[in-house]
Amino acid sequence: MLKDVLEQIERRNRFLLTSHARPDGDAVGSALACCQILRSMGKDADVVLRDGVPRIYQPLPFADQVVHAQRVNGNYEAAIILECDSMQRTRLDGLENRFLINIDHHLSGRPFADVNWIDPDAVATAEMVFRLARAVKAEISPEIATCLYTALLTDTGSFMFAGTNERTFTLARELVRAGADPAQCARRVYFAHSTAKMRLLGAALSNLHREGPLAWFWVTQEQMELCDAKEEDCEGLVNYGLSIQDVEVAAFLREIPDGRFRVSLRSKGALNVAAVAESFGGGGHECASGCSLDGPLSAAVARILAKLQIGQSFH
Ligand code: 5GP
């Protein structure tokens, strides 16, 4: 509960903030905003991310202060884990035996920490961080507003995903009033792709398959290398599958160096893809989830399609 989080924050002074590995906009934006809120309360706070800040989020205020590390050192009095449904997904060493505070909005969120505030009704963790700021009467500076607006924009799929509601727009309005520039935030995220990402999109779409309401496609390690693409260049590619008329669910598979596949699932709402991802040990939201599967590619595709087809109450 928020009340418990506030109580613990008030009692302590030195905080570490982190989120999941391969951070998305909500992970980076919420952690950066929360860090600034804590500092405005006179606390010490650092953000540490296992994979650092992806290129498109590097223009966010204070993103240059994020520590890119595999291990947490330092005598922090608590670690605040945002937008992350387990300690393992941070992929950070050195969190064990620390006092942990978990702030998350995932449907698959688990109370793994000492204090847990999990609200799957929040469209983004940014919404929860905003509530926290209000509760401690922190001023929402233009920098905090920019981080939270970018988090909200990206986690709602530009206000397009199911779950986007009146509250979402009220929050967006508050953030714009506090100094977030919507056009600039959108430009930095959506009009700042690397050339490699565009080439990778071409390669991925050349593998596009469609059967009724399902679309699936993939990229192999070889294609990634040929395009000179990085892992973060895969973010958002799955949405191109979902953008097809009458497709209800899209799956995008990315081969990782160990030969396994990272799977991104997206739904327009008729199928709960969090349940599908969870059945493979992953998680996420009803409309956006992910998991990992063993290769080879044909086996990974067959397993995911079998689950999606069984779940096809929308067929
Ligand atoms: P993406 O497809 O963008 O990687 O992830 C979509 C959503 O599913 C995000 O909210 C992300 O946090 C969640 N997600 C992706 N992969 C995993 C996973 O392996 N485990 C869990 N628990 N959640 C995941």
The tally of domains found in the chain comes to 2
CA angle at residue 3 from 2 to 7, to 5 degrees? 115
Q: Is 154 in the pocket of ligand 1 (CB under 6 A)?
A: no
One domain for residues 104 and 250: no
Distance CA(119)–CA(111), nearest Å, equals 11
- pLDDT the model gives residue 162: 82
Q: Is 284 in the pocket of ligand 1 (CB under 6 A)?
A: yes
Tell me the backbone φ, ψ of residue 14, rounded to 5 degrees: -115, 120
Indicate yes or no: pTM above 0.85: yes
Give the Å distance between the CA of 13 and the centre of ligand 1.
31
CA-nearest residue for atom 7, ligand 1, is 289
One domain for residues 87 and 235: no
One domain for residues 181 and 202: no
Asked whether residue 158 is domain-assigned, the answer is yes
Q: Is 85 in the pocket of ligand 1 (CB under 6 A)?
A: yes
CA-nearest residue for atom 2, ligand 1, is 264
Asked whether residue 315 is domain-assigned, the answer is no
- pLDDT the model gives residue 315: 42
- Which atom of ligand 1 sits closest to the CA of residue 83? 12
CA-nearest residue for atom 12, ligand 1, is 284
Domain with 180 in it: 2-190
Question: What tens-digit pLDDT sequence spans the chain (315 residues)?
Answer: 999 999 999 999 999 999 999 999 999 999 999 999 999 999 999 999 999 999 999 999 999 999 999 999 999 999 999 999 999 999 999 999 999 999 999 988 899 999 999 999 999 999 999 999 999 999 999 999 999 999 999 999 999 888 899 999 999 999 999 999 999 999 999 999 999 999 999 999 999 999 999 999 999 999 999 999 999 899 999 999 999 999 999 999 999 999 999 999 999 989 999 999 999 999 988 889 999 999 999 999 999 999 998 666 544
Distance set, CA 255 to CA 111, 217, 260, 303 (Å): 31, 11, 6, 15
- pLDDT the model gives residue 305: 96
One domain for residues 34 and 98: yes
Last residue of a domain, one of 125, 158, 190: 190
Give the Å distance between the CA of 289 and the centre of ligand 1.
5
Asked whether residue 22 is domain-assigned, the answer is yes
